Amino acid sequence: MSEDNKSTSQFNNSKRKSHKKHYTVLPYFSTPIVYVLVSLIAIVPICFVLMNVAVTAVHSAQKTLTPDFCDITASSEYKPSTKSSGTAEIPKFSASKKIGKIVCDSAGLNAGVYYGLNRVSLRYGAALNAKTALPGQSKTVQVFGYSSTAFKALKNVKKGDTLSFETEWGTYTYSVTDTSALETAPSASDNELVLASDLGGAFSFQNGKMLYVTARLVSGPSAKEVP
């Protein structure tokens, strides 16, 4: 055998050994990778489902838990007014007092509204932000609620839908002008109503966005608070 043929034969043998070694080592890496991928595909969706169930269970349980001595006491009694024009007086009420309800028949939304953005108000229904105005005060009104309880149907509200905000001093009609998932609250004008909730699902509060529904006032009495 010539030197050239001998060298070629040695090279081919070396190459075959290298390939054999490569294919021998490969299963040691491929098997763990397959297990990891299968685990991710199976476990991650289960975690999301369980988290969603847990969040819903907590919000539902809050409605039935007995308040401790540090809790504000909520009041669910209120006398609705059908007054839709003219002027009205806003009665005095304390934190977590039910002041009305928001209804959107086309979306299946029917949520009681409590005064003050706190955990007690959110436990029983939607919470009106006391730092904003009340309906009839010609300024922006903000109401927040959980997507798993009071505002479960908020995601069904569409642009052009009609909202009814019934209160103790009058009934206000709003027309929806926008629905958006945003990281910050949208800028609102006077006589507008902004409804907000988490987007729903596991980790929805951690993704930085909330669902906002903005509506403009169509009708309702102008109102002032009783001195």
Could you tell me if 113 and 127 are in contact, meaning their C-beta atoms sit under 8 angstroms apart?
A: yes
Pairing, β 109-115 against β 126-128: parallel
> Which pairs with CB-CB distance under 8 Å and at least 24 residues apart come from 125-129?
125/98, 125/101, 125/149, 125/150, 126/102, 126/150, 126/151, 126/195, 128/99
Which pLDDT score, from 0 to 100, does residue 112 have? 96
E strand or H helix at 162: strand 162-167
Could you tell me if 213 and 159 are in contact, meaning their C-beta atoms sit under 8 angstroms apart?
A: no
Which pLDDT score, from 0 to 100, does residue 227 have? 74
| pLDDT band for position 119 (cuts 50, 70, 90) | confident
What is the mean pLDDT of the segment spanning 197-204? 69
Which pTM value belongs to this model?
0.69
Burial pattern 98-113, b for ≥16 Cβ within 10 A else e, equals bbbbbbbeebebebbb
What is the mean pLDDT of the segment spanning 40-48? 69
Which pLDDT score, from 0 to 100, does residue 200 have? 75
- Check residue 117 and report its DSSP letter: S
Which pLDDT score, from 0 to 100, does residue 69 have? 43
What is the mean pLDDT of the segment spanning 209-226? 94
Q: Is the pLDDT of residue 4 over 70?
A: no
Higher pLDDT residue, 3 or 140? Answer: 140
CA angle 83, 189, 157 (to 5 degrees): 70
